[in-house]
Amino acid sequence: MNNWDYSVFWNEVINQAKVELSEHEFAMWFNIQYDSSTENSVSIRVPSSFYRDQLVRQYQKYLEDKLFDLMGKRITIDFIVVKPTMSDEARSQSQAREEKIESTQKGQDHANPPRDRGKHPQLRVDYTFENFVIGDNNGFASNAALAISKNPGTSYNPFLIYGGVGLGKTHLMQSIGNRVWIESRKTKIICITAEEFTNEFIQSIHDKTTQNFKNKYRYVDVLLIDDIHFLQNKLGSQEELFHTFNALYDANKQMVFTCDRPVSELKNLSDRLRSRFERGLNVDLQPPNFETRCAILKKKIEAGHVPVPDEVIEIIAKNISTNVRDLEAALTKLVAYAELVHKEITLEIAQNQLKDVFSQSKHGNVTIDNILRVVADYYKLSYNDLKGKKRTKNIAFPRQVAMFIARDITEYSTTELGFEFGGRDHTTVMHACQRIDERLKLDPNLESTIQALIRTIKDYSAKI
């Protein structure tokens, strides 16, 4: 029994052919089935020698080139004639089809359909290093990412980028993919979210195709998985990823992950997978400072064709500070408005149009309730636990974090906060804030967790 199974790649080739060829052509010629693989070939079942000859003449090169693009190595296709066992009726239909094919094939020659590696199906074309501003908040991460894209699999493996929403994790990860994709035609890259990985894995169990699933992921050169915090509580997928990880790691294949928090703070993650994530290089992205925010806005403006004065850039950068996605959204809104009314963007227009955006990002609707909900959710507790009287350690610490954040981002006094947090004394709140202050000095991860929580609370509050 051999271990080769290229059926996933073959299916993908067929999917692409279906899109690229005309419906008529596809229906006529692609009545063929995957049979088996060896190390350097796949066997495809075709219903007759007539089919085989036509496929060899017209499509073999086309299909082999596609396989090469997907797999990064040359695989030959052997068409084997397997007479289908079918009812007489079906047979006569098939014969009729062959006759029709013979009569129409002349004008149909498809010896060399245009072929271009084009865009990677899973990577966004605009998520490139060229479009990514290197600033105070991401210098280390960006340089590591650049180094990795020069020599995937050799220097930092895995590479894990963590940080709050909208700070550029996905953009940076995909930049690696795009750079590798352009520079080396042979490299096979997969880029997916942890959620897609999980869904696909579950589907493969359901379809009894887990072997295909395993082959697909263990045969890549660069594996990019976004938002691995999704794997919390998903033990089956964790197990699968653990084995994929080991296979790729041993083969020196590059892995890149992103996560919304430091790996040490993921809950319900197997220790062995956690230690794999922590093995290579873990770097965080912070919110950008004012200069970097201006530089990011300028970059986005370059890409468009609407001029935006510097004073407008500055007022946007001044007012939106926690999230690059929001920064971009404000600019997009302004540009869209200016285009619609055919006006040049001025400071006055910007102030008017972005009034709501600015005031929301300053105050939001941050309430104690929102803080409790977000913090409880993060630590996998219930809202009532956090607000209640229980003093067990797993509740006391998150509660202190919530109090600390409330003190930081709301205008409530400690007395008011004590009242809001289940009728406690103001000294309890003060004590909580001191405790967190102390821990912040000892634990560098806590800072980014709290920053991430604050951003989530603001996002969440802005939505309601």
Which residues make up the interface to Mg ion (CB under 5 A)? Answer: 169-170
Cα–Cα separations (whole angstroms), residue 138 to 133, 157, 163, 263, 286:
9, 19, 10, 18, 7
Rounded to whole angstroms, the Cα distance separating 203 from 196 reads 10
- Residues in region 324-353 near ligand ADP by CB under 6 A: 324-325, 328
In the sheet with 281-284, reading across from the earlier edge strand, the strands are 189-193, 222-226, 254-259, 159-162, 281-284
Query: How many DSSP H helices and E strands does the chain contain?
Result: 22, 8
Among 167-175, 184-192, 234-242, 416-424, which window interacts with ligand ADP (CB under 6 A)?
Answer: 167-175
Among 115-123, 166-174, 200-208, 211-219, which window interacts with ligand ADP (CB under 6 A)?
Answer: 166-174
Nearer of residues 67 and 335 to ligand ADP, judged by Cβ: 335
Residue from 47, 158, 166, 177 binding ligand ADP (CB under 6 A): 166
Burial degree of 363 (CB within 10 A; 0-12, 13-18, 19+): middle
170 binds ligand ADP (CB under 6 A): yes
Nearer of residues 165 and 409 to Mg ion, judged by Cβ: 165
| Run of H or E including 458 | helix 444-463
Among 127-135, 261-269, 360-368, 371-379, which window interacts with ligand ADP (CB under 6 A)?
Answer: 127-135
Residue corresponding to tokens 């997969």: 190
Nearer of residues 42 and 324 to ligand ADP, judged by Cβ: 324
Q: Using CB atoms, what's the residue nearest to Mg ion?
A: 170
314 touches, from ligand ADP, Mg ion, none (C-beta below 5 to 8 Å by class): none
Which residues partner with 334 through β-bridges?
none
Nearer of residues 324 and 335 to ligand ADP, judged by Cβ: 324
Residue from 66, 169, 188, 261 binding ligand ADP (CB under 6 A): 169
Rounded to whole angstroms, the Cα distance separating 173 from 227 reads 11
Nearer of residues 171 and 276 to ligand ADP, judged by Cβ: 171
Rounded to whole angstroms, the Cα distance separating 196 from 199 reads 5
Note the helical H segments in 151-193: 169-183
Shortest distance, position 319 Cβ to Mg ion, whole Å = 23
Among 84-92, 160-168, 178-186, 229-237, which window interacts with ligand ADP (CB under 6 A)?
Answer: 160-168
Pattern 287-326, binding to ligand ADP, x per CB under 6 A?
A: ---------x--x------------------------xx-
Phi, psi dihedral angles at 255 (to 5 degrees): -125, 140
Residue from 7, 138, 360, 414 binding ligand ADP (CB under 6 A): 138
Nearer of residues 323 and 400 to Mg ion, judged by Cβ: 323
The answer to whether the beta carbons of residues 163 and 455 sit under 8 Å apart is: no
229 binds ligand ADP (CB under 6 A): no
Residue from 14, 146, 165, 202 binding ligand ADP (CB under 6 A): 165
Nearer of residues 280 and 287 to ligand ADP, judged by Cβ: 287
Rounded to whole angstroms, the Cα distance separating 79 from 63 reads 12
Rounded to whole angstroms, the Cα distance separating 391 from 396 reads 5
Nearer of residues 164 and 418 to ligand ADP, judged by Cβ: 164
133 binds ligand ADP (CB under 6 A): yes
Shortest distance, position 168 Cβ to ligand ADP, whole Å = 3
158 touches, from ligand ADP, Mg ion, none (C-beta below 5 to 8 Å by class): none
Note the helical H segments in 21-117: 23-29, 49-58, 60-71, 88-104
Shortest distance, position 286 Cβ to Mg ion, whole Å = 15
Shortest distance, position 226 Cβ to ligand ADP, whole Å = 7
Count the Cβ atoms, other than its own, within 10 Å of residue 296: 22
DSSP string, 248-316: HHHTT-EEEEEESS-GGG-SS--HHHHHHHTTSEEEE-----HHHHHHHHHHHHHHSS----HHHHHHH
Residues at the site binding ligand ADP, with contacts judged by CB under 6 A: 131-133, 135, 138, 165-171, 296, 299, 324-325, 328
